[in-house]
Chains A and B, each alone.
Chain A
């Protein structure tokens, strides 16, 4: 099975650093980004499955970043990290396709639990996609050749 790759997006460097260490100790690949833009760059180069995204950030905020991610990488699962005052924006996030949200300050265990659930979903989804594709290929083997040419 594929190893879960987590991307942490927050404007607090120290938080990123510590949390990265904690998550890596659990055996997951962890990337960090200090802004929405940086997160998108990492998403470009690495296939990240779960993004933990702070809502309130300078520049591109969490909701905006979420929309771009969902647009470009529909399969990536996003967990919003929010303060109470921005519960509304968390709801907005859920509406635009976030997997779940977490209230700050969140326990690392909570974060990982949610991330795993998201990853499971992602895996199941990929599984479905793969089986669907397999069925498609079995129906028409030529398609593979065609795809190869393309």
Chain B
């Protein structure tokens, strides 16, 4: 039994685990897939959008910067073409041209005229640079060889970061160079006008990685080397196409492009945190939703599986109870059938014994008379009376057997009784009439209380009577045993009760007798169980009653406290 319940417990645990796992993991799979997919698509869309934005900004600014530089170059070229060397070769003329240029673009800081050997002939601007020789300067050589040149930012003689635009002019066998300096501050504002989010900025690097403009964030001044340059230099593909990438170990996104006609990179960068701010908050929300969802899932699964298992347990217990009830019913029926066959067979030998007894009785009587009666021989009369006593004993015992077999046969009889509507209101007093005398003579207080609304029920009259008599007689016996001739009380109550929307008749027989011992409680409905002295009871009463009440579709319960009394409750469906 213990083993069995252990096994049951184990299988229940397994079942619970199975339900729990299924309930948690099956919904979890689509849940995680959906969350993951939406997060993936959201993040990739955001990345694409960010990339596209960076690229757009990069392209726009590249064009702007390129056109700025081209325009400045074109300005100078225009001047160089309009004016001949002689026209320019005076301080006033250069200053006048400078004013013109300044008007066209405030980016021009100064203007200088150089001869083909690099001598600074004329100068208009804030610095006193005229007369210096620039023959060895890189910009001059490049201008002389290439026709024009836009320099990187450098310090030069004036020791201030600047860059120059220079054009060469060959005019009537004379070669001369016109050079303008571009204000880096102005150029800076042009570049740093790029703004994205809070950290988005643009700057220009030359091919050595030196900053040509300062970064808006301020941590990279003009001519400082960009620490990230080494990292992305060998990754950049040149051309006009923007290259977009984000170094994994850097907190920035970079978009870099080379400028046409100029060996500069335009770099646009933004902190990832800033660019992906929406993504990070989405990730946090996603995480919170996932965690909450999973927690809710687990809690629900635990709760539901707990409920299911408890329900199954309940059903199992009910099933067990039903099973044991069924077994008891079958046992009763089998015992009944067996006992009936048994009793039937016993009746034949009893019949013979009875006949033998009758014959012996006559024979003994005759022998006694032949012997001359009791007066003649005292010894003989003693032995005759002993024989007679023995014969009477045989008769008594046969009668006793007969009583038992009759009861057994009644018990085993099939339910072919006629069921009619019975009214407890008239039936119970009628039955009580049969036992009143016994109760009165035993000094027992026998009372009835029958409610007015007690309904009728279906059953066989005589069998119901048998049940009631049995219960009442048991009660009377119990009371007599406990109280003797005084203080015994037996009460018969009848009324209507409701159970699961069904009207039931409840008939209770309660006494204040000796009660039933707890270890006898589950045996009292068993056939042949009796606590009465040998020869006083057959042990069939209650089991027969139980069978009869069941055949009426009712139930019979017992509640007993040893030493205080017993209540037998019969419940029958109302008609």
Instruction: List residues 345-371 of chain B with CB under 8 A from any CB of chain A.
Output: 347-348, 350-356, 358-359, 362
Instruction: List residues 269-325 of chain B with CB under 8 A from any CB of chain A.
Output: none
Instruction: List residues 31-60 of chain A with CB under 8 A from any CB of chain B.
Output: 56
Contacting pair A85 B355 (CB below 8 A): no
Give A108 to B410 CA distance when docked, in angstroms: 24
B406 partner residues in chain A, CB cutoff 8 A? 84
Minimum CB–CB distance for B504 against chain A, Å: 33
Does more than half of chain A's interface fall in helix, strand or loop, or is it mixed? helix
Q: Does A116 contact B (CB under 8 A)?
A: no
Q: Does A73 contact B (CB under 8 A)?
A: no
Contacting pair A84 B410 (CB below 8 A): yes
Binding site for B on A (CB under 8 A): 12, 14-15, 18-19, 21-22, 25, 56, 81, 83-86, 104-109
Contacting pair B358 A105 (CB below 8 A): no
Contacting pair B341 A85 (CB below 8 A): yes
Contacting pair A18 B359 (CB below 8 A): yes
B353 partner residues in chain A, CB cutoff 8 A? 105
Give A14 to B343 CA distance when docked, in angstroms: 20
Contacting pair A22 B351 (CB below 8 A): no
Which listed residue (B344, B352, B359, B402) contacts A85, Cβ 8 A?
Answer: B344
Contacting pair B355 A18 (CB below 8 A): yes
Give 11 A-B contacts (CB < 8 Å), ordered by A residue: A12-B351, A18-B358, A19-B355, A22-B355, A84-B410, A85-B343, A105-B353, A105-B354, A105-B398, A108-B354, A108-B358
A14 partner residues in chain B, CB cutoff 8 A? 352, 356
B344 partner residues in chain A, CB cutoff 8 A? 56, 83-86
Which listed residue (B347, B410, B412) contacts A104, Cβ 8 A?
Answer: B347
Give A107 to B358 CA distance when docked, in angstroms: 8
Given contacts A12-B348, A21-B359, A85-B412, contact A106 B354 (CB under 8 A): yes
Name the residue of chain A whose CB is nearest to the CB of B352: A15
Give A15 to B353 CA distance when docked, in angstroms: 8
Give A15 to B358 CA distance when docked, in angstroms: 12
Contacting pair B409 A105 (CB below 8 A): no
Chain B residues within 8 Å of chain A by Cβ, number: 24
B570 partner residues in chain A, CB cutoff 8 A? none
Contacting pair B343 A84 (CB below 8 A): yes
Q: Does B454 contact A (CB under 8 A)?
A: no
Q: Does B560 contact A (CB under 8 A)?
A: no
Name the residue of chain A whose CB is nearest to the CB of B410: A84
A18 partner residues in chain B, CB cutoff 8 A? 352, 355-356, 358-359
A-B contact count (CB 8 A): 64
Max chain B C-beta neighbours (<10 A), residue from A81, A83, A108:
A83
Max chain B C-beta neighbours (<10 A), residue from A19, A84, A106:
A84
Name the residue of chain A whose CB is nearest to the CB of B395: A107
Q: Does B340 contact A (CB under 8 A)?
A: yes
Name the residue of chain B whose CB is nearest to the CB of A85: B344
Give A86 to B333 CA distance when docked, in angstroms: 18
Give A83 to B348 CA distance when docked, in angstroms: 8
Which listed residue (B355, B362, B398, B413) contacts A25, Cβ 8 A?
Answer: B362
Contacting pair A83 B409 (CB below 8 A): yes
Name the residue of chain B whose CB is nearest to the CB of A104: B347
Max chain A C-beta neighbours (<10 A), residue from B351, B353, B402, B406:
B351
Given contacts A18-B352, A83-B409, A84-B410, contact A105 B347 (CB under 8 A): yes
Contacting pair B343 A104 (CB below 8 A): no
A85 partner residues in chain B, CB cutoff 8 A? 340-341, 343-344, 409, 412-413
| Contacts A12-B352, A85-B343, A105-B347 supplied; 20 other A-B pairs, CB < 8 Å | A14-B356, A15-B352, A18-B355, A22-B358, A83-B347, A83-B409, A84-B344, A84-B405, A84-B409, A84-B410, A85-B340, A85-B341, A85-B409, A104-B348, A104-B351, A105-B353, A105-B354, A105-B402, A107-B354, A108-B358
B409 partner residues in chain A, CB cutoff 8 A? 83-85
Which listed residue (A86, A105, A109) contacts B351, Cβ 8 A?
Answer: A105
Name the residue of chain B whose CB is nearest to the CB of A86: B344
Minimum CB–CB distance for A20 against chain B, Å: 10
A15 partner residues in chain B, CB cutoff 8 A? 348, 351-352, 355
Minimum CB–CB distance for B356 against chain A, Å: 5
B398 partner residues in chain A, CB cutoff 8 A? 105
Name the residue of chain B whose CB is nearest to the CB of A14: B352
Contacting pair B412 A108 (CB below 8 A): no
Give A68 to B405 CA distance when docked, in angstroms: 31
B358 partner residues in chain A, CB cutoff 8 A? 18, 22, 107-109
Contacting pair B343 A105 (CB below 8 A): no
B350 partner residues in chain A, CB cutoff 8 A? 104-105
Give A142 to B490 CA distance when docked, in angstroms: 81
Give A86 to B351 CA distance when docked, in angstroms: 16
Instruction: List residues 525-571 of chain B with CB under 8 A from any CB of chain A.
Output: none
Name the residue of chain A whose CB is nearest to the CB of B406: A84
Name the residue of chain B whose CB is nearest to the CB of A56: B344
